Structure 1
């Protein structure tokens, strides 16, 4: 495959982050700081609601067994030859689509069987406590809507649970598409069933996967370096196959299939793609607007498990900062341009103005929820204004030992 014209941004690690406040280096200290952050009233000079909007990234799903992009053990670090397919390549090249769908076919079972983890359910619990108004996620695994359907969730980069036609824009469930891929590619399906039976796709050990000749990449992509991708076949859009679509130039598109129903390269329409925003593809204007409305509808932003290397996420955090919203970040490793989010903070503030914690969300968030729930029970007899940050942190540590 030809070298891409576009460069993938920020594939190297960002500088180590600060800890804000300094007491947040320990788990009890981090919990106390996040409590201050979530319960703090809006800044007096800003007309902002009291709720928090959450922005999440790939790191939140690592505990579910999925790969991330830019973490210390992310794909860009451990698989230097990896690069995702670009939108223009997918549209222009039949061979590129064969390669994409073959790898996705192998990876879909693992992604489908994966489940939300403790971090996702902690977000649910924060919503039930009345602290979170909405979630904006860059993830395409649909774990957020599965874990907390009652909290509005905007999937900024789309979702893998569906395919979408690039001609008529109708969506189709991925399960049915996967069944068609299996029918059209019996040899590949037999290989997949053997891989499942032997546990080759179940192991989380990257060294074992490499020994088996596999590389597990983000978003359900399984790479087999010596695989005959040119033999792979994929179906056409059933809607466009039954009724020729109208193309951008006003003409009718051509959709043809072979004797088994696989998309034919004599076609110029009816191409199905994952319902995700691929690299080089623009986010729909309605999604951008909805993301901005989610930010504008809250008074604080809590960023979880993302380096915000993609501009689509970073611009939302910047929008929050420009609106005067306090920003909290929980992420292992540095974050793109994070110094701007904490500029001007009082060095002695306990977390109300901003929080920066370098911890795993799957351990920190559940512990935070437990303390918030216990604090809610205690609040009937003790006013929060009577408890100092130091006392609060001590109480957190005591409760963790119980």
Structure 2
């Protein structure tokens, strides 16, 4: 789809004139603008979901799409972990950062959120215009027939196939940010196939090595184009999936603000970067930013 030209006040050069700044710099840069927001795992850490690449995060090697589809042992291991981990995500609640973004959307400061998270906490907080870039943890899709089922429906089938599994491994769990859990003993776990066609089931989540659906990417670009500025919250922007929107906003002359603990791959495109937590910063922004005219 064609992307409308930016009609804001800053040129590309002006939009990059600041680097590391303060909360006051962030407020000054974003005031009066309708904001597109891009969020990452750092937004959900205060809800008890750990991130992948934060300063204190352990080293992780996420399963790739190729491993999941090409190796039965990898697939069994993944579903065993997910069968435990999704329950933790299902119980988590939005934090102050999620609520602040929803509040700003209701006031017209934020016009939409692109999230790299799969936890649905933005929706739970009350955000209405959310693009779940990498999918949702609460759905499962058949790779053969395309049938989509609720994760809770699959959980009931997996409980029948693996009675007492969750109780047996509860002491050996580390929750991961993609509705997964890291557990040791999974060789005896039984995997469920599609109840409709017998095909391979996969969480409705974009894996490493898999591409985001084109239609979803285009909607995200459109959301960035419709805003006057882009606010990035809680993302290291390590992967191209999110970085492309930051690059696009900067190339079209829009102010870009990055709020994250630690440096990000997108800092060179930013008008202002703020090394800070997202919950407190977004709360401050909700209190400080006026409703645009």
Mark the structure with the bigger radius of gyration.
Answer: 1
Q: 5 Å matches for 1:364-379? A: 364-372=281-289
Give how far 1:20 is off.
4.3
Q: Which stretches in structure 1 are left out of the alignment for 5+ residues?
A: 1-18, 25-29, 41-49, 77-81, 196-211, 241-254, 256-269, 343-353, 377-402
Distance in structure 1 (CA, Å) of the matches to 2:139 and 2:233 = 25
Q: By how many angstroms is 1:140 displaced?
A: 0.6
Distance of aligned partners of 1:232 and 1:133 in 2 relative to their CA distance in 1, 3 Å threshold = same
Match of residue 305, structure 1, among 230, 234, 242: 234
Number of equivalences: 275
* Counterparts in 2 of 1:337 and 1:371: CA distance versus 1, 3 Å: closer
For residue 223 of structure 1, the aligned residue among 160, 182, 185 is 182
So what's the TM-score if we normalise by structure 1? 0.65
Aligned equivalents of 2:166, 2:183: Cα separation in 1: 14
Report the equivalent of 1:355. 272
**Structure 1 residue 189, shift from structure 2 partner:** 3.5
- State the alpha-carbon separation in 2 of the partners of residues 154 and 235 from structure 1: 29
Whole-angstrom CA distance in 1 between matches of 2:195 and 2:126: 33
Change in 2 beyond 3 A, CA 1:113/1:84? same
Give the conservation status (yes or no) of the 8 Å contact 1:68–1:75: no
- RMSD over aligned CA atoms reads 1.9
Q: How do 1:94-109 and structure 2 match up within 5 A?
A: 94-109=72-87
Do 2:247 and 2:266's aligned partners in 1 also have CA atoms closer than 8 Å? Answer: no
Query: Is 1:168 matched up with 2:145?
Result: yes
CA deviation string 1:36-93 (max 9, x = no partner): 22224xxxxxxxxx411000000000000001000012232xxxxx311111111122
Query: Normalized against structure 2, the TM-score is what?
Result: 0.88
State whether structure 2 residue 38 is matched by structure 1 residue 61: no
Bigger RCO of structures 1 and 2 (CA < 8 A, at least 6 apart): 2
Tell me how far apart the structure 1 counterparts of residues 124 and 173 of structure 2 sit (CA, whole Å): 29
> How big is the shift at 1:337?
4.3
Of 256, 259, 266, the residue aligned with 1:330 is 259
Asked if the contact 2:267/2:273 (under 8 Å) is kept, the reply is no
Q: Deviations over 1:249-304 (max 9, x none)?
A: xxxxxx3xxxxxxxxxxxxxx11100000111111111111111111111100000
Kept after mapping to 2: 8 A contact 1:305/1:330: yes
1:144 aligned to 105, 122, 138, which one?
122
The equivalent position to 2:63 in structure 1, one of 85, 88, 95, is 85
Q: Tell me, which stretches of 5 or more residues in structure 2 are unaligned?
A: 1-17
Note if contact 1:75-1:218 (Cα within 8 Å) is conserved in structure 2.
Answer: no
Matched, 1:177 2:154: yes
Would you tell me which structure has more strand in proportion to its own residues? 2
